[in-house]
Amino acid sequence: MVTLTEARRIITAAERKAEEIGQPMNIAVVDAGGNLVAHVRMDNAWVGSIDISINKAWTARAFDIATKELAELSQSGDQFFGIHASNHGRVMIFAGGIPLKRGDLVVGAIGVSGGMGKQDQAVAVAGAAAFLGPLP
């Protein structure tokens, strides 16, 4: 499971990266059941990205795969084509969702939205890196 203390550490690291690249973000952390543990909407982050960040985290946990990878596998003709229409449209196939692991066990996920895909991914990576380690 991901604790609130861990979620706050993840979000702090992600916020630092978002500030570094100059892009306000929505950052969500979910637990092993895909339930929201914590969410932050940075000042001036898009309101429309709140739901997207939460759903990116949920998707990364629901399928135990980074949403960036899922996006690559869900293109026309690939094995997961059309997956975004499943689960009542909750599945996000944009970069920015990353499973959080302890060893080989997925215990939660981070989801980030508010910028371009590369920006969302960079912020999510920074947050995920802080999960088991000290803040950068």
Own/partner contacts of 41-46, CB < 8 Å, gap of 24 or more, are 42/15, 42/18, 42/114, 45/114, 46/113, 46/114
Residue ranges of the domains in the chain?
A: 4-129
CATH topology of domain 4-129: Beta-Lactamase (3.30.450)
What pTM was computed for the model?
0.93
Q: Which pLDDT band, with edges at 50, 70 and 90, does 133 fall under?
A: low
Q: What digits encode the pLDDT tens for the residues 96-127?
A: 999 999 989 999 999 999 999 999 999 999 99
Task: Give the pLDDT of residue 121.
Answer: 98
Does residue 135 have a pLDDT over 60? no
Task: Give the pLDDT of residue 86.
Answer: 86
Task: Give the pLDDT of residue 17.
Answer: 98
Task: Give the pLDDT of residue 136.
Answer: 44
Angle at 98 between CA 53 and CA 61, to 5 degrees: 85
Does residue 85 have a pLDDT over 80? yes
